[in-house]
Amino acid sequence: MRARIFAEFLLIALLASAALVGGCGPPEGDLGPLTYRLKWLFNVSVVGDLYAGAEGLFEAEGLQVTVKPGGPEKDAIKELELGHAQFGVASADQVIRALAKGSPVVVIAQIFQQNPLQWIYRPDRNRFETPADFRGKTLGVTFGGNDEAIMRALMATRGLSEQDATLFSVRYDYTPFLEGRVDLWPVYRNAQGVIIEDKLRRAGEAVAFFDPNAAGVRFVANSVITTRALLEQHPRTVQKFLKALLEGWRRAVDPAQAERVLAMIQLHDRDTALPLLRQQLDITRQMVRPTAETVIGRIDAAAWKQTEEIMLTQNLIPAAVNVASSLVSP
């Protein structure tokens, strides 16, 4: 009986291994349907990804790509390793944590040149010009999230510790900020930032945003990733994918295409009013292509290095991972 169970287990293990090995070595260009797992739900932050899918840019490159929304419980890096997706979007801190644990992930493009994560505040009650102004204030952070790492890095630039300010645990609902219990609240400037700003302006309140970039903390936002194996074994597929994707982003942030792009976003984001979507798109455009010379998808190696240093300083990774070696422009 035991021998039979052992034999069955061995057979299953062999079959699984064979399937795995078989899945690793098809000839170049024979990958079949591809899955691209985003970091978050369909909204303006993924407008270029949606555009590439909706306008048939992947098909034009001979690829069959399904763009799938992300969410709080989705992790593109894990999906890449498990073979559920071939391309994905992950935050820089996710990538660096994964590299620290031996994940074979590589970054092939950085869509946002400027991290959209900022902090909203009421300028009539507080003035936040530099991190020195944080002293004695209540600062919202998502413990465990990348905004916590950014906030701690900001505080460190002025030698502030947790004793100098109160860190408030942030969740999905903005009530503590709306009620004035928290002075600074983290938002994605191009998404929720616009919505909360609109809500408060309607209530007659002024708002402003604190941008970590302006204080010298350039923590990289989401990036496009794949596995090193896919990059090495199917470089042309990766190139085609990236070409289609970056073309999607180029067109999506082209002001001349704005109406077309807005109509497309409306199909996916029905809860946000058109004027707000327009504002969101304008801000997204500035973050993806801050200047006319900016190459869309450019990987900012210096910002990645700073991100790694921040994580190392805060003991979020046990040792340096040399992230530069995993930044690849195919």
Work out whether 169 is an interface residue with other proteins (CB under 8 A): yes
Should residue 320 be labelled a site residue for other proteins when binding is judged by CB under 8 A? no
Could you say whether residue 259 binds other proteins (CB under 8 A)? Answer: no
In sequence order, what are the residues at sequence separation of 6 or more whose Cβ sits closer than 8 angstroms to the Cβ of residue 310? 149, 150, 153, 217, 219
Binding mask 12-51 for other proteins (x = CB under 8 A): -x--xx--x-------------------------------
The dihedral built from the CA positions of residue 302, 93, 299 and 112, taken in this order, carries a sign that is: negative
Task: Specify the residue, 25 or 102, whose C-beta has the smaller distance to other proteins.
Answer: 102
- Complex with other proteins: residue 172 or 256, whichever CB lies closer: 172
| Residue from 66, 143, 180, 236 binding other proteins (CB under 8 A) | 143
Query: Using CA atoms, how far apart are residues 103 and 97, in angstroms rounded to an integer?
Result: 9
Sign of CA dihedral 194, 200, 202, 206: negative
Q: Is residue 6 part of the contact set for other proteins (CB under 8 A)?
A: no
| Residue 11 binds other proteins, judged by CB under 8 A | no
Provide the 3-class DSSP secondary structure of residue 179.
coil
Please, what is the minimum distance in Å from the beta carbon of residue 82 to other proteins?
Answer: 7
Phi, psi of 138 (to 5 degrees): -100, 115
- Using the rule CB under 8 A, is 302 a contact of other proteins? no
With respect to other proteins, which residue has the nearer C-beta, 227 or 280?
Answer: 227
Cβ closest to other proteins, residue 253 vs residue 316: 316
Q: Are 203 and 195 in contact (CB under 8 A)?
A: no
Whole-number minimum distance, CB 202 to other proteins, in Å?
Answer: 20
Least Cβ distance, residue 150 to other proteins (angstroms): 14
Stretch in the footprint of other proteins (CB under 8 A) among 36-44, 70-78, 236-244, 266-274: 70-78
Give the interface segment with other proteins, choosing from 96-104, 233-241, 244-252, 319-327 (CB under 8 A). Answer: 96-104
DSSP lists the bridge partners of residue 140 as 168
The count of other CB atoms within 10 Å of the CB of residue 216 is 12
DSSP H helices in the chain:
2-24, 47-54, 57-60, 76-82, 92-100, 146-157, 175-178, 192-202, 228-233, 235-252, 258-268, 274-288, 301-313
For residues 103 and 280, which CB has a smaller minimum distance to other proteins in the complex? 103
Least distance in angstroms from the C-beta of 305 to other proteins? 21
319 near other proteins, judged by CB under 8 A: no
DSSP class per residue in 15-35: HHHHHHHHHH-PPTT---SEE
Do the beta carbons of residue 241 and residue 65 sit within 8 Å? yes
Distance CA 120, CA 200 (A): 11
Residue 97 is encoded by which pair of tokens? 């944590």
Binding status of residue 75 toward other proteins by CB under 8 A? yes
Residues 208-247: x/- map of binding to other proteins (CB under 8 A)?
----------------------------------------
Total of chain residues touching other proteins, rule CB under 8 A:
29
Q: 47: which strand partners?
A: none
Q: Does 271 bind other proteins (CB under 8 A)?
A: no
Q: Is 104 in the site for other proteins (CB under 8 A)?
A: yes
Task: With CA atoms as reference, report the closest residue to 108 among 93, 87, 91, 94.
Answer: 87
Residue placing its CB nearer to other proteins in the complex, 13 or 324: 13
Alpha helices in 61-209 (DSSP H): 76-82, 92-100, 146-157, 175-178, 192-202
Comparing CB distances to other proteins, the nearer of 6 and 143 is 143
Q: Which residues bind other proteins (CB under 8 A)?
A: 13, 16-17, 20, 72-73, 75, 77-78, 81-83, 94, 97-98, 101-104, 142-145, 169, 171-173, 175, 316
